[in-house]
């Protein structure tokens, strides 16, 4: 099985993914722009049990989420980089910050979401589905991903 490796920018935190993600999307919401100080973030959703920390430890901050329930963000305690997050109360579903991977090209986004707040100067290619808000999972996930997501949300 493919293994993916990643790390924070200072290198104190390193990790391995033990499976392919359930789904990867690029989020253009204004919160993600602020969280990353960038134009958008790439998120890979997967089971928390498939993430292994191979070096260092993670600290935690709590920030706002679109739902209003909050978002627990796991960071390198030294450089502060985000590694992954959980939506409050959904600890079995890990939201990986995909571009912390050693080769983030291996997991390109399968959808762009919240295009209604996308920065105007950013031009996207036509080959990836785009959504003004969020997608309905049933529309774009494979059957296997739908099943894995159902279990991760329990």
Q: Give the footprint of Zn ion on this chain (CB under 5 A).
A: 8, 10, 12, 27, 29, 32, 76, 78-79
Smallest gap from residue 109 Cβ to Zn ion (A): 12
Smallest gap from residue 4 Cβ to Zn ion (A): 18
Among the listed residues 128, 129, 134, 107, the one whose alpha carbon sits nearest the alpha carbon of residue 32: 134
If the CB atoms of residues 19 and 78 are measured against Zn ion, the closer one turns out to be: 78
If the CB atoms of residues 18 and 78 are measured against Zn ion, the closer one turns out to be: 78
If the CB atoms of residues 62 and 151 are measured against Zn ion, the closer one turns out to be: 62
If the CB atoms of residues 9 and 49 are measured against Zn ion, the closer one turns out to be: 9
Smallest gap from residue 8 Cβ to Zn ion (A): 3
Tokens 């997608």 sit on residue: 135
Smallest gap from residue 82 Cβ to Zn ion (A): 10
Among the listed residues 96, 88, 39, the one whose alpha carbon sits nearest the alpha carbon of residue 65: 88
Query: b/e string for 25-64 if b means 16 or more Cβ within 10 A?
Result: bbbbbebbbebeeeebbbbbbbbeebbeeeebebeeeeee
Q: Do 129 and 110 touch, CB atoms closer than 8 A?
A: yes
């Amino acid at each position: 099985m493919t293994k993916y490796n990643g790390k924070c920018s200072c290198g104190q935190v390193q990790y391995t993914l033990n499976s392919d993600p359930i789904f990867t999307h690029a989020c253009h919401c204004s919160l993600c722009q602020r969280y990353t100080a960038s134009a958008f973030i790439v998120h890979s959703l997967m089971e928390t049990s498939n993430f292994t920390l191979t070096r260092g430890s993670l600290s935690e901050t709590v920030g706002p989420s679109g739902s209003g329930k909050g978002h627990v963000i796991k960071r390198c305690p030294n450089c502060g980089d985000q590694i992954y997050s959980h939506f409050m109360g959904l600890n079995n579903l890990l939201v990986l910050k995909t571009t912390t991977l050693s080769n983030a090209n291996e997991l390109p986004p399968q959808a762009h979401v919240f295009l209604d707040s996308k920065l105007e100067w950013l031009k996207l290619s036509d080959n990836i589905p785009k959504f003004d808000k969020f997608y309905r999972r049933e529309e774009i996930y494979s059957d296997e991903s739908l099943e894995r997501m159902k279990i991760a949300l329990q």
